[in-house]
Structure 1
Amino acid sequence: MYNSSSSSTPSSSSSSEAGDIRSSVFSPGEPLRQPRTSPPVSDSSAESRSPIPSGHNSSSAADALVKNSKLSAAAPEFVPGCYASFQDDVYSDDSEGHYPEPSLADFIQDFVSHLNLSPGSLESEIDYITDTLNSCVTTEEILQELVELIYVQSTSIPNFAYTGARLCNHLSHHIRLSPASGNFRQLLLQRCRTEYEQREQAVRGDPGTQKRFHSYVLFLGELYLNLEIKSGKDTPGRANVLLGALKDLLNALFSHPDDPNLMCAVKLLKLSGSILDDTWKEKGQSDMDEVIKKIEDICLDAKCSRDARQMLLKLLELQSSNWGRVHTAAVSSDATPDNDPNYFMNEPTFYTTDGTPFTAADPEYSDKYQEILDREDYFPDAYEENENDSFCGDEDEMDPEIEEAFERFCMESDARRKK
């Protein structure tokens, strides 16, 4: 027989197991991992380090998010996230979240690269660049470093000579530091003179030396066209000191007439030949005639390639046509097709039935234009500007399928209105 104590043991055991099952099913497990997008949690207390602190609710999380947000409804302007300019797309340090102090070389390289990719941004960025340079160019040594850096960038980056010359012109008027050794413009011209004095060796050097020298020549040509020098109350003029230098550089290139030197000379004359010609003529000098004579001699005697000789012949043709410039047009009242090359410039262009364009300068203009008028008279409705259905055709010519669909649409519309 079983006693009462032995009979109670199984019931207590079964109740204990049931309690364990209920606890394992209904009791909460480990706290859930805190969402990754939640605001940063302070380490000030053990309670704040808990993934789900006691008393946590959605309103407290929202308050913390608002508190830590950097957005402001009182911001003066809205800037899209994809917008980037030179002021805010360089020198960012993701680890620190601020702009560290860059070296002058880094700053020059970065903004020159920016201008090379976006030449049109020079006007909008130049004030920021100038202010930054004025704040850091405080000694003579730094000013000389600035000149050297800009010179190297302007003569080493392909197709940057024009933008570099414009940049140099602006800085020559806005860099405030002017030590005893010279201001920005004077130091720049001194740096260019160093290369100028080595011209005879450079034109006979190895291909790398010649390439650097040719880049310098083209930059000097851009500098002559873009560098403005103010003298008193007169309007700014070009740096005449560069005028004689460009002639000497051309003579040096022609003195060793291999293809690279000749092509560099052609590029320089296409760039600045008209200005050089005008300036020399104003001074009563025949320097351009001497240059043209050298080119003619080279075309006859020099052992240059066919392509180089062809470029020289094209240059001679360009110079003989006044560098491709049109002469001053006659007075409008006296202008005729014979004395004004711009007489037909603003005339409209018409097209024949086969698509051939013609203008008033065409010898058969009258006949072709009359043909257009006759065609307009034959199809008068096609040329009326106020006809709204000129491109639609007649209603009777509507496609059968379109007509059927339109009628069905009208019937459905009437049915909906009656309802």
Structure 2
Amino acid sequence: MTENFDRAPGAGWNRLKPSSPGLGEQDGSRLPKTGEGDSKASFFNQHEPLRQPRTSPPLVENNNLSGAGDIRRNIKTHATQSYYSTPGQTGGPLALNSRLSVNAPEFYPKNYTPYQESTYDEGSSSYYPEVTLAEMVQEFLNHLNSSPASFDLEIESITATLNEWVTTEETLEELVDLIYKQSTSIPNFAYTGARICNYLSHHLITSSPSGNFRNLLLRRCQTDFEQREHAMKANEATQKKFHSYVLFLGELYLNLEVRSRKGPPTRAEILLSALKSLMDTLFSHPVDGNLICAVKLLKLTGSVLEDTWKASRKTDMDELIQRIENVVLDASCSRDVKQMLLKLVELRSSNWGRVHAASASSEATPDNDPNYFMNEPTFYTADGTPFTAADPDYSEKYQEILDRENYFPDFFEENGSAEDYDDEDEMDPEIEEAFEKFCLESETRK
């Protein structure tokens, strides 16, 4: 039986020879013995070989069979070559009709963003990109803009960081430009920006051939000052930007200190003359926006400007007030703006809201300083009548409040009722007995 078994693929058709004596007996048929039978036998024996399968045959798991690995490799290679043949050879239908190429470019979806590996420098301590001076300064300014009360706590550390970064003339000019733009573009940041400029002008170490921080800042202000007439004739956005610049210059005059070796710090005189010229420009174009800006500037700096001009025996403030009165009479501004100008004149007539005979804070008493009780809190009696420390019956009324509140109501609510603290001298019997025993032992030792 094994002698007639052919192991080649497709040999099942000729597993038994036609002359096998048992085949006719098992099927119940008779094989022909003539030439007709020989032709049929040759038809079954000389058939076309079967096509190789697309997938390789299962691998032999028995590792003990010799040459099993070579057989698997030969079968797989033969099957692949016979089906995926090159166009010049006789191969399978996929190889003949395929348009794929190994040299084709990589395919990416429409909205696909290729992944970029982060570059890591051996000398760097992290994968994050380096922060620029502009980003760092902007972060500082945004922090102080959102938390202006933290200025005194943060400005020293900020200045120390800037001293490490600002080491050249280019970085110094960039720092001045960043602070200047922030201070003139955000109206509420003008005061904080002026304080920053004052602190950096005294504590920033870096200087350049063009000057230090204060010199570059004043030069930057001079550039916009020379464009004041052009700004008056420009569009509305440019005028608003100019108004922000004017208010920042007022804050800068109040906060920027010029130190000298001979005396106490003084204000920058160049800013004083600049503010006078800017107000003349605003009143020369009496439209609502310019007049409102002038009112804000005089409310901010009016008292300081008048004191400085009076000390120099100048009448510049009187001239400004006269121009305001003429604008109220002649200008075609709105009614609300005219009312603002009249209120400003009234404020100046009351010495800008200051008390004439105010005493020094160390010598102030209720008798010689009318502002002595200005910041005192307001209390209310049981019937709702308000009173302050300036009230003649302040002591009696305040004592009534203390009696009504039982002196320390919050303390009793947190730590128990007031009854728990009435008998402070009474002790627990056990504690009292232990204390007496301690006293007797102490006397015995003596």
Instruction: Tell me the TM-score range normalised by the shorter chain.
Output: 0.5 to 0.7
Deviations 1:77-125 (A, max 9, x none): xxxxxxxxxxxxxxxxx99856542222222222111111111222222
Q: Distance in 2 between matches of 1:127 and 1:121?
A: 11
C-alpha contact 1:350 1:357 (8 A) present in aligned 2 = yes
- SS of the aligned residue for 2:292 comes to helix
- The partner residue of 1:102 within 131, 149, 162 is 131
The offset of 1:146, in angstroms, is 1.6
- The aligned amino acid for 1:234 is G
Residues 296, 261 of structure 1: alpha-carbon distance in 2 compared, 3 angstrom cutoff: same
Q: Which residue of 1 aligns with 2:272?
A: 243
1:113 maps onto 2:151 in alignment? no
**Higher deviation after alignment, 324-333 or 225-234:** 324-333
Contact 1:227/1:239 (<8 A) preserved:
yes
Distance in structure 2 (CA, Å) of the matches to 1:285 and 1:196? 23
**Which residue matches 1:206?**
235
Residue in structure 1 matched with residue 348 of structure 2 by the alignment: 319
Corresponding pairs, count: 293
Q: Aligned partner of 1:160: which letter?
A: F
Find the residue that maps to 2:371 and give its secondary structure: coil
Once residues 146 and 373 of structure 2 are traced to their aligned partners in structure 1, the CA distance between those partners, rounded to angstroms, is: 39
Q: In the TM superposition, what are the counterparts of 1:162-173 in structure 2 within 5 Å?
A: 162-173=191-202
The answer to which of 340-349 and 237-246 deviates more is 340-349
Which residue in 2 is equivalent to 1:124? Answer: 153
Q: TM-score, normalization: structure 1?
A: 0.61
Is the Cα–Cα contact under 8 Å of residues 177 and 183 in structure 1 kept in the other structure? yes
C-alpha separation between the residues in 1 aligned to 2:369 and 2:131?
59
Q: Which residue of 2 aligns with 1:298?
A: 327
Distance, in Å, in 1 between the alignment partners of 2:398 and 2:144 is 51
Which of residues 179, 183, 188 in structure 1 aligns to 2:217? 188
In 2, the alpha carbon distance for the partners of 1:117 and 1:334 equals: 37
Q: Is the 8 A contact 1:204 1:256 kept in 2?
A: no
Counterparts in 2 of 1:171 and 1:345: CA distance versus 1, 3 Å: closer
**Long gaps (5+) in structure 2:** 1-117, 121-125, 420-446
Deviation at 1:382, TM superposition (A): 6.1
Q: TM (normalized to structure 2)?
A: 0.57
SS class of match (1:159): helix
How many Å separate the matches in 1 of 2:377 and 2:202?
A: 46
In structure 2, the CA distance between the partners of 1:343 and 1:136, relative to structure 1 (3 Å rule), is closer
Query: In the aligned structure 2, how far is the partner of 1:104 from the partner of 1:176?
Result: 16
Instruction: Tell me which residue corresponds to 1:278.
Output: 307
**How do residues 332-371 of structure 1 correspond to structure 2 at under 5 angstroms?**
340-342=369-371, 351=380, 354-358=383-387
Identity of aligned residues (%): 61
Report the Cα distance in structure 2 between the residues aligned to 1:122 and 1:383, rounded to whole angstroms.
Answer: 40
- Aligned-residue offset at 1:138: 2.2
Q: Cα gap change, 1:386/1:172 in structure 2, threshold over 3 Å: closer, same or farther?
A: closer
Structure 1 CA distance, aligned partners of 2:156 and 2:418? 60
Q: Distance in 2 between matches of 1:112 and 1:386?
A: 45
Q: AA paired with 1:220?
A: L
Match of 1:56 in 2: none
Check whether the contact 1:202–1:210 (CA below 8 A) recurs between aligned residues.
yes
Please say if residues 366 and 373 of structure 2, whose CA atoms lie closer than 8 Å, have aligned partners that are also in contact.
no
